């Protein structure tokens, strides 16, 4: 958007350019896919003299994304999804996504299931070499520390004579004072709540078959049965998660699926699928939050669809009220479109405004072409206050001010457009305008959280790095 300043006789321009990068990772069979987001912001400041002495700052933000695939799973590489490593003799270590490190050798961490190479002993999750004296006493031989710690032997006592509950051989755990084989289906879980048998997960201390409907979740909270998702507990970590049917109204949302909810008109709200868009129902995601006629989404993210336009009801989209009513925002400020309510025609406007509502105007103010009311408010449908000229102008259309309870920057536009702040007046309020939305490089359509806004087919709504607002998000 370009603004001209008639009468400016001299000016100077300062341009500042800043770039920010953000990354996200996912994993496939060929490696770890890294998505990088780069945001560049240019700021131009112009000073005018003569009849125009204000300062205008123009800020333009461009966001771009790129993807690349990097190797994962080998020693020294990042862990693959689910903190897994693919090379033999490696273990995922460290916090976050983790790094794959060598395991099983003397002085290294024990591998999965307490495994140590060459007959070594796993003592307090560190491998000790065969033939060496164990730190808990005895000589290490074939996983046993001097007569304890191997399958069928008594559990060893810890360092300093602690409780006798330690096993040092591969694939065994202490059960009732004796080291017993672990990790198989129906057997006790091994150290770290792990199981070695394929298709099993640790649940309640026992390795059970996982992944099917009604069964425990497999490692990484995954399910193998179609139409199921892992719900409750901690899944493969022994937390009791179970694979449950998903997608229908009242069922858990299908996590990670292309369609989280399968029923028409249903969306995921609080992890559960349910109808949306009707009166009293949750607002739908995307550009059309409410589908029932005469309703608006109230309450922001997680809000509900409420009847609008009547006296005492929220204003409908574009500050609209029925029957010539006036959309009156709170006396404390000109924004807050979501808090504005309709005053019936013939009633006193109130909220600090004098006059009686008639045809959308409060006395002599609030209508298109009329003066703005107190606190830069406009009260008729599809109008906003042009603060510089103290006049109510049309809003919501492409190239027009954004609607929203008075003042530029209210936040709503007509279908196919989105509200974006393109110029900020350093001496006062902000200036926003409605722009085309949904195309490549254009603002995302809709309002609210970035993940609920929409783009044309094949494009994704991407926020600026660092958690930019929905208004700063673009289609990539």
- C-alpha distances (whole Å) from 201 to each of 84, 92, 223, 232, 242 are 15, 18, 11, 15, 11
Token pair belonging to 45: 């400041």
**Mean pLDDT across 127-139:** 95
The string over 351-390, giving b where at least 16 C-beta atoms fall within 10 Å of a residue's C-beta and e elsewhere, is bebebebbebbbbebbbbebebbebbbbbbbbbbbbbeee
Which tens digit of pLDDT belongs to each residue from 302-338? 678 899 999 999 888 888 899 999 999 887 654 434 4
Task: Name the pLDDT band for 421 (thresholds 50, 70, 90).
Answer: low
CA–CA dist 388, 404 (Å, integer): 17
Model pLDDT for residues 343-379, shown as the tens digit of each residue: 999 999 998 888 899 999 999 999 999 999 988 888 9
Tens digits of residue pLDDT in 68-91:
677 899 999 999 877 889 999 999
Beta-carbon contacts of residue 259 (< 8 Å; ≥ 6 apart): 247
Lowest mean pLDDT among 108-122, 352-366, 432-446, 453-467: 453-467
Kindly give the pairing relationship between strand 13-28 and strand 31-47: antiparallel
pLDDT at 49: 37
DSSP reduced 3-state for 362? strand
Q: Answer yes or no: is pLDDT of 415 > 70.
A: yes
Start-to-end Cα distance in the chain: 20
pLDDT tens for 223-248 read 999 999 998 875 444 456 899 999 99
Looking at residue 429, the DSSP 8-state letter turns out to be -
**Angle, CA 382 vertex, CA 379 and CA 387 arms, to 5°:** 65
Q: Which of 348, 365, 366 is nearest to 357 (CA)?
A: 348
Band of pLDDT at residue 195, cut at 50, 70 and 90:
confident
Alpha carbon 371 to its chain centroid, in Å, reads 42
* 109 to 106, 156, 177, 237: CA distances (angstroms): 8, 19, 24, 20
C-alpha 19/C-alpha 287 separation (Å) is 29
Residue 236 Cα to chain centre, angstroms? 24
Provide the pLDDT for residue 53: 43
Residue 366 Ramachandran class (φ > 0 left, ψ -120 to 50 alpha, else beta): left
Let me know: does 333 contact 351? Beta carbons within 8 Å: no
Q: Give residue 191's pLDDT.
A: 76
**Is pLDDT of 451 > 60?**
yes
Which pLDDT value is given to residue 397? Answer: 86
DSSP string, 80-147: BTTTB--STTEEEESSTT-EEEE-SSTTSBPBGGGB-GGG-EEETTEEE-TTSBPTTSSBEETTEESS
The stretch 207-214 carries a mean pLDDT of 93
Radius of gyration in angstroms for the set of CA atoms belonging to the chain, rounded to a whole number: 32
Question: Which pLDDT score, from 0 to 100, does residue 132 have?
Answer: 96
Query: How high is the mean pLDDT of the chain?
Result: 78
The three-state secondary structure class of 5 is coil
Confidence of residue 2 (pLDDT cuts 50, 70, 90): very low
Measured at the CA of 167, the angle between CA 165 and CA 171, to 5 degrees, comes to 135
DSSP-derived letter for residue 291 is -
């Amino acid at each position: 958007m370009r603004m001209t300043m008639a009468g400016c006789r001299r000016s100077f321009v300062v341009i500042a350019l800043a770039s920010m990068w953000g990354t996200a990772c996912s994993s496939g069979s060929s490696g770890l896919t890294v998505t990088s987001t780069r945001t560049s912001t240019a700021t131009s400041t112009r000073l005018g003299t003569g009849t125009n002495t204000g300062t205008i700052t123009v800020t333009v933000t461009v966001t771009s994304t790129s993807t690349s695939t990097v190797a994962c799973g080998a020693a020294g590489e990042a862990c693959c999804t689910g903190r897994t490593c693919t090379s033999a003799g490696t273990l995922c270590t460290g916090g976050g996504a983790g790094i794959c490190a060598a395991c099983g050798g003397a002085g290294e961490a024990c591998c999965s299931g307490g495994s140590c190479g060459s007959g070594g002993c796993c003592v307090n999750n560190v491998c000790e070499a065969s033939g060496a004296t164990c730190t808990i006493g005895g000589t290490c031989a074939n996983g046993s520390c001097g007569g304890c710690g191997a399958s069928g032997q008594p559990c060893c006592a810890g360092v300093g004579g602690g409780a006798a509950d330690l096993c040092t051989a591969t694939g065994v755990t202490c059960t009732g004072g004796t080291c017993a084989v672990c990790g198989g289906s129906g057997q006790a879980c091994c150290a770290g709540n792990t199981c070695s048998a394929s298709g099993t997960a640790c649940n309640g201390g026992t390795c059970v078959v996982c992944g099917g409907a009604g069964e425990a979740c497999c490692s990484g909270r995954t399910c193998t049965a179609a139409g199921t998702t892992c719900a409750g507990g901690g899944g493969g970590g022994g937390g009791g998660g179970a694979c449950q049917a998903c997608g229908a109204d009242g069922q858990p949302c299908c996590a990670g699926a292309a369609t989280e909810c399968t029923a028409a008109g249903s969306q995921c709200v609080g992890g559960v699928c349910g109808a949306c868009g009707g009166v009293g129902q949750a607002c739908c995601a995307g550009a059309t939050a409410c589908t029932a006629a005469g309703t608006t989404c109230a309450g922001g993210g997680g809000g509900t669809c409420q009847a609008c336009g009547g006296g005492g009801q929220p204003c409908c989209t574009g500050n609209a009220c029925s029957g010539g009513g006036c959309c009156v925002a709170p006396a404390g400020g000109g924004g807050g479109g979501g808090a504005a309510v309709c005053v019936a025609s013939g009633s006193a406007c109130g909220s600090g405004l004098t006059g009686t509502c008639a045809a959308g105007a409060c006395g002599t103010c609030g209508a298109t072409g009329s003066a703005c009311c107190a606190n830069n408010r406009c009260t008729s449908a599809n109008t906003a206050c042009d603060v510089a000229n103290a006049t109510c102008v049309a809003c919501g259309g492409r190239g027009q001010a954004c609607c929203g309870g008075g003042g530029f920057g209210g936040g709503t536009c007509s279908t196919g457009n989105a509200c974006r702040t393109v110029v900020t007046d350093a001496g006062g309020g902000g200036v926003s305008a409605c722009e085309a939305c949904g195309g490549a490089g254009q603002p995302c359509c809709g309002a609210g959280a970035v993940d609920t806004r929409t783009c044309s087919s094949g494009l994704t709504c991407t926020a600026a790095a660092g958690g930019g607002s929905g208004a700063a998000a673009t289609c990539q």
